[in-house]
Amino acid sequence: MVKRLDYGFNGYQVPAIPRATRSARKRVPFRKRVEGNQISAFDLLATVAGTLLLDKESSPASNNSWNAEDQSAVEKNNVKEERQDGDQSLKLETCNVSELVPQTNDPNCSSRESPSLQNGTQFGVTSAITTSECLERLDSQKLIDGKIKNEMGGLACKVETGPFVSRTPGDCVEPVSENKVLTDEELDRTNKASTGQVADKCPLGDPLVLDGKPPAVVSSDSSIKAPSFGEHDPFISFPVQQYDVNVVSRDDDEKSSGCTHPSPIREPFRSTPRIGDRRIRKILASRYWKVALRSKNATYSNYDENLKSGYCNRSTYKRLRSGMNFPFKKRKFLHYTSESNSDGGTISEGISDLPKKNINGKASILYSKMHGVTGESSSLADQCKSFNSRDPHVKLRIKSFSVPELFIEIPESATVGSLKRTVKEAVTAILGGGLCVGVLLQGKKVRDDNKTLLQTGISRDNQMDALGFSLEPNPSHASPSLCPGGSPLTLPHDIPLPLARYPANPGLVNQVTCHPSTEPCIPNAGNFIESNNDCTASPTDTFDKSTTESKALVAVPAMSVETLAAVPVHKKSKQSEVAQRRIRRPFSIAEVEALVQAVEKLGTGRWRDVKLRAFDNAKHRTYVDLKDKWKTLLHTARISPQQRRGEPVPQELLDRVLNAHTYWSQQQAKQQQQQQQQQLLPESCLPHI
């Protein structure tokens, strides 16, 4: 009873039955188990979206171009004076994210060391593209550039399915070219590497693809190839079924089992070992991700481990996992029966069995005609079927995406640099969390994320008429009207992720329009930037302040919630049913106060009651939220004020949190003791009865 006075409130209510005895319960760390390894449509979405995010994790160099290191700043006084009527409202209806090139990799390529890599660094330092993939790209590019240059009109996303090239496990050569389109010379060397050196050193493997002929060198026609946004090509492959998916990054200097040391049982699918920071840097640097096949007995946790090891920086990892809404979320893989789903049962024989099907040196080509692509493409598709029916991968090439519309208000006095940064942050945020990826098949939205590609019809055996991806604004992020009680979304300023460099082609920033503006409409960002360079202060002086004082950035869906379609969608599709992350809503001090008061009264472990008592009207606060907030409050109270971030919580409240927690912990302990005694008592009393 004395404690009441200490806490300064009316007292505690001891719960009748302390469910909180669970608090003593220690949970076994959840192990991700993989009992099946089909990839679901969700994973397809996630992979595409994840690739977008990986774009954001691009090199600092790309960031510089956005930050415009040479940006001048306005006078501080001007910055402080934020006048409503002076704000510029810029509406960027769409921005292209160009040349996202998810593409299949060869699942067999994971452990081979490229002779060319061993010999030197002719392909650069950090990139990693298998020769085979180079060939794939070549071929794909050839198809695109030459025969099937696929015009998608004004569509936001272009998806191309390239030829599928199957290879033996031994033909993996991984030279590297991350930051540029391969030049003819490099390509030529690549071909040589695959046809010559590798073949010499790989007795077991048939290194050759494409019928043993090096593909015709394709000129890197930049007029056809959209300007690269992130200066790299991420690759994605989707097993149609059967295999665990593991995201690995190939270390170019990794010396795993080389071609010169063939072993009877090779492990071509083994992921690269953890090698700590270096590996992480490689991942971030190369930004080359593979979705590799893994043996059936591998567990999905390995994927997580790879991520963890890949991102030694825990915060980075966490950001990917949750903080940045990294959409490549782990998803529990569907259970499946290997026998029933396997292709004639061959898959069940093991991974090593699969490459054997392709050893004959004939490439298995999967080509799926795109929307509007007919003729030659269909013949390719036929080829594909005749060549190989074993490879469970779907090959996709997404030419470009458009970022949904952004709405930006920024003071006139803001610097160009801050404008750039603002746009960057808006784009970053929308890519990070406010974006959904939709998959469209033959004009229809694929809604069931749990279906496999095979089930959905996105498979090698399918004549993919129209496979498309769309970027859709996340309504919870995009529309203020969807945030009842909340202010229009202010995009966070603390997103450290650099976006890929500003598109060199000003045309990529489409339809930059000006909202109520005193200035003439700005045709494109490039012109705007050039015309505003009259600042005097140093960029760093006022950079953050400019930024912070700009008006809220509101991500406005370009067409309401309509899809930015990659493929013509005839009917207006509803919002994607993909579970979307809720918008982050920091607790206000008043809410914290209410929470603390309720917990003081009810105790911890009664979050539903706390919710009903103090947050019944706050629909967006679930009892889980309250529990989590209490958790963070407790953590905040325990750390030093210097370590605290965000809006400072009054120390008085934090003290109350600590006191209440201490009290209720003691109560729980007491009640546990009582319970134990009650359980023991009857037994001990038995003799007396």
The answer to whether 184 and 124 are in contact (CB under 8 A) is: no
When the beta carbons of 93 and 244 are compared against DNA, the nearer one is 244
Residue 192, phi then psi, degrees to nearest 5: -60, -40
CB of 325: closest distance to DNA in angstroms? Answer: 8
Q: Which residue, among 355, 174, 361, 390, has the nearest Cα to 266 in the 3D structure?
A: 355
Q: Name the minimum Å distance from CB 373 to DNA.
A: 36
| Least distance CB 627 / DNA (angstroms) | 6
State in angstroms the smallest separation of the CB of 187 from DNA: 41
Q: Is 341 left (phi over 0), alpha (psi -120 to 50) or beta?
A: alpha
By the criterion CB under 7 A, which residues form the site for DNA? 19-20, 22-30, 318, 321-322, 329-332, 579-585, 604-609, 620-621, 623-625, 627-628, 631-632
Complex with DNA: residue 329 or 385, whichever CB lies closer = 329
Minimum distance, C-beta of residue 338 to DNA, in the bound complex (Å): 21
Phi/psi-derived region of residue 8, left when phi > 0, alpha when psi is between -120 and 50, beta in every other case: left
Backbone φ/ψ region at 276: left (φ over 0), alpha (ψ -120 to 50), beta: left
Question: Is the CB of 229 or the CB of 607 nearer to DNA?
Answer: 607
- Cα atoms in the Cβ-side hemisphere of radius 13 Å centred on 616: 5
The least distance separating DNA from the CB of residue 480, rounded to whole angstroms, comes to 15
The DSSP result for 122-157, as a single string, is: TT-SS----HHHHHHHHHHHHIIIII-----TT-S-
DSSP letter at 499 equals P
In the bound state with DNA, the residue whose beta carbon lies nearer, of 229 and 317, is 317
Round to whole Å and give the CA distance between 110 and 567: 34
Instruction: Tell me the residue type at 309.
Output: S
Measured from the CB atom, is 156 or 555 closer to DNA? 555
The torsion defined by the Cα of 81, 423, 438 and 451, in degrees rounded to 10, comes to: -90
The minimum distance between CB 668 and DNA, in angstroms, equals 8
Answer whether 407's CB lies under 8 Å from 553's CB: yes
| Residue 181 near residue 137 (C-beta atoms within 8 A) | no
Q: Which is nearer to DNA, 10 or 322 (CB)?
A: 322
Q: Which is nearer to DNA, 65 or 632 (CB)?
A: 632
The dihedral of CA 480, 483, 489, 495: what is its sign? negative
Nearest distance, CB of residue 563 and DNA, angstroms: 22
The residue among 505 and 632 lying less far from DNA, judged by its C-beta, is 632
- Min dist CB 27 to DNA, Å, is 4
Give the CA diameter of the chain: 97
Radius of gyration of the chain (CA): 28
Nearer residue to DNA within complex by CB, 3 or 329: 329
